[in-house]
Structure 1
Amino acid sequence: MTSRLFPFVLALLLTMAATPSAIAATEADYKAAYAAAEAAAKEAAALRHQWTTTVSTLSAAKKAADGGDFDRATAAAKEAEALAKASIYQAVSEKEAWKAMEIR
């Protein structure tokens, strides 16, 4: 019976070892996440397609970091990067999508 459980226990242990633990974000984590978000936001702005939610989320990240809450600041910066990348995707896809529209 125990030989049947071994693969499952082994898989569980390997999964637990590979999963990052809930470690508090550091200022360096925040700065890296903010830099990535800021770069994506600048790219979206260059495409003239920057979402206002990206700007406000970047502002919230900076405010949280100024208050010393690097967990929340890092999370907000990552969210801002995702928003910026989504706006870039939208800008690029809409640039070509109009060609497929049928004029009636």
Structure 2
Amino acid sequence: MKRSCLLAILFASTVALPSAHAATEADYKAAYAAAEAASKEAAGMRNQWTVTVSALAAARKAADGGDFDRAIAAAKEAEALAKASIFQATTEKEAWKAMEIR
């Protein structure tokens, strides 16, 4: 399976689906903490994507406005992006060895 397909599957599997209950501030804080932890891990690998930082900022802005549904969706998007960047960094760390030098 190609890397782009794996990234798409990872992203799709972690993006929030609409929930049956109204989101609370506690739900947001949990989602944001998970996203922030993944983002910090990616940054530690020197592979933090700018779109992840933007999604985290959008989550904070929505939460500050009291829109916890949108804040959670943005936090989950940020987490998915951070996990995808971690996956990219991990696979590319070893993939270069398989390249044939001509």
| Structure 1 residue 71: Cα displacement | 0.2
Q: Whole-Å Cα distance in 2 between the matches of residues 24 and 52 of structure 1? A: 29
Which of 70, 77, 95 is matched with 2:93 structurally? 95
1:5-84 correspondence to structure 2 within 5 Å? 22-84=20-82
5+ unaligned residues in a row in structure 2: which ranges?
Answer: 1-17
Q: Whole-Å Cα distance in 1 between the matches of residues 67 and 87 of structure 2? A: 30
Normalising by structure 2, we get a TM-score of 0.81
| Structure 1 residue 21: Cα displacement | 5.5
Q: Whole-Å Cα distance in 2 between the matches of residues 93 and 81 of structure 1? A: 18
Q: Whole-Å Cα distance in 1 between the matches of residues 35 and 21 of structure 2? A: 21
Bigger relative contact order (CA 8 A; separation at least 6): 2
Aligned identity (percent) is: 85
Query: Would you say how many aligned residue pairs link Structure 1 and Structure 2?
Result: 85
Normalising by structure 1, we get a TM-score of 0.79
State the Cα RMSD in Å: 1.2
Kindly provide the amino acid, as one letter, of the partner of residue 62 in structure 2. Answer: A
Which 4+ runs in 1 deviate beyond 2 A?
none
Between Structure 1 and Structure 2, whose CA radius of gyration is higher? Answer: 1
